[in-house]
A and B are shown apart, each in its own frame.
Chain A
Amino acid sequence: MWDILALAAWVVSAAIFLWMAWDFFVVNSKYEESVLISSREGLDELLPAGDQPAAKKKN
């Protein structure tokens, strides 16, 4: 039984990594690069507009 568990661990791990690789490539091909790297430091979505810190615009 333990040998089967070890084998199952390999199989499940491979399936997980394959799914993440698939999702990774789907996301990278579906979305513009500028959208994916559009995260800004200092922006707080929970603050009302008047309290937003003035995050500087990217170069």
Chain B
Amino acid sequence: MVDTTVTTTSIAQQSQSINLLKVLGPAHVWALGVGIVLVGEFMGWNYAAGKGGAFGALIACFVSGILYTCVAKIDSEVTSTVASAGGQYAQAKHTIGPLMAFNVGLFMTLTYLMLNAGDVLVAGQLVQIGAQQLGHDIPWQPFTVFFLAILTLLNYRGVLATLTVNFVITAAAFASIIILFIGVKPWAPGEVLLHKELLTALPYGWIGVIAALHFGMWFYLGIEGTCQAAEEVRSPGRALPLGTMSGIITLLIAAAITWYVACGLMPWEYIGWDATLAPLYDSARMTGSPVLIVILFIGTLLSAIASSNGCTNDQARAWFAMGRDRYLPEWFAGVHPKYRTPFRSILFLTPIVLIFALYIPLAQIITFSILSGLLNYTFMPINMWNFRRKWPLGVIRRGFTHPFHPFPAITLLVLCAATFFAVYLGYGRQLLAMMAFYIVASLWFAFYRYRYVRRGAQFTMPWPKPAGY
């Protein structure tokens, strides 16, 4: 009788409420995750070579690959079960508690917001570089604003079109990496690729390799963004694990090709201190092929646009989810009645992205994005342990069960600790400043904001009481 009443109430609420649209499939999830990350193959990872040489960058690529494979596996299990907008924020709310959830929500919002700012900044500068190579000197700012305006509009008007476009441009950017790989004739070592001559021993020893971990993250940073689509996929139990796992496989392939091609064409000293922004584009220039140069220029630009598009989507979902639970003003939880998007969160965050893109140096923006992402990854092992402990296998239905628990969680925690040390070596002050920011934000939440939170209504999953409660 009670169950019938609750079900009737739910359906009545559903008919009156405006919710996000459930229209996405596995390909959109793949496009969201890979779209956010793929720009890291085109630029950013190369500073790992500056820290640890070519082999140091390769080791960082492998280690970060393991780290992110653990992230993808853990995310696939928890998100396919906690299928709500906000991704890890919603997970933290269910498995740990409000203060952790607030922090995780902030980690994600800032990760995507800063990455978004970096992406549109780079996209604008790429247009400027392209024009300069054709003999014209133009400002980058109008193109940065233009890309942000177009992507905000796309996100504002609906998630299906947003991620369908992302699928096309992400696939095109990935194809450009494959074309470059074929173009350098990997079947004929020594003809184009000169690994034998260019690969050297570790220039700064193993401490350089550890320092390289910081930038090795670039190969995969953002794959966890697939979780933000959880509330908008038609079948969370199928689409999220499929999209996330195929996404990390795509990125592992792209990362390996990227390292192989770039380090076979250029010395690590040049890759590590690449002044022209994009090592894969430089690799194409090294081949001397005009076709490859054009393709890689377009691929680089598309990767930056795809990343910005995905970040605009994800930052708004995290902010929206926190607003819906009153962790932030409820006003941010507004859903557009026609387009069914979190339109207020999308529009509120766009000017902030623009300010960072126009006025803050790229290195600072990226560092804050990486640090927030790393804090989010450190939460995930704890999340996984709590999830399995409170709701053991068989108690609730999971869309995906990741094997070998708790080894992925332990591996992730150890690799996060190593990466924190790597970040501390190069950006200790920024790391401490970021920690201080989150501590102040936590105090604000605990002593002021928490009084507005819907405490009894946060737990939305139809699960039994957790073990031990």
A residues in contact (CB < 8 Å) with B: 2-3, 5-7, 9-10, 12-13, 16-17, 19-21, 23-24, 27-28, 31, 35-46, 49-50, 52-59
Contact = CB atoms under 8 A, between A and B. Distances in A.
Contacts of B338: 27
Given A42-B460, A45-B14, A52 B7 contact: yes
Contact of A54 (B6, B131, B150, B321): B6
Given A39-B324, A39-B335, A9 B143 contact: yes
B7 A42 contact: no
Contacts of A12: 146, 149
B343 A57 contact: no
A54 B462 contact: yes
A2 to B, nearest CB: 4
Nearest to A35: B18
A27 B90 contact: no
B17 A38 contact: yes
Given A35-B18, A37-B334, A41-B84, A56 B457 contact: yes
Instruction: Name the residue among B84, B136, B457 with the largest chain A CB count within 10 angstroms.
Output: B457
Contact of B334 (A20, A36, A43): A36
Contacts of A35: 16, 18, 337
Interface string B109-129: 000000000000000000000
A41 B156 contact: no
B321 A37 contact: no
Contacts of B152: 16-17, 20
Interface string B5-47: 0110111011011111010000000000000000000000000
A31 to B, nearest CB: 6
A32 B90 CA distance: 27
B410 interface: no
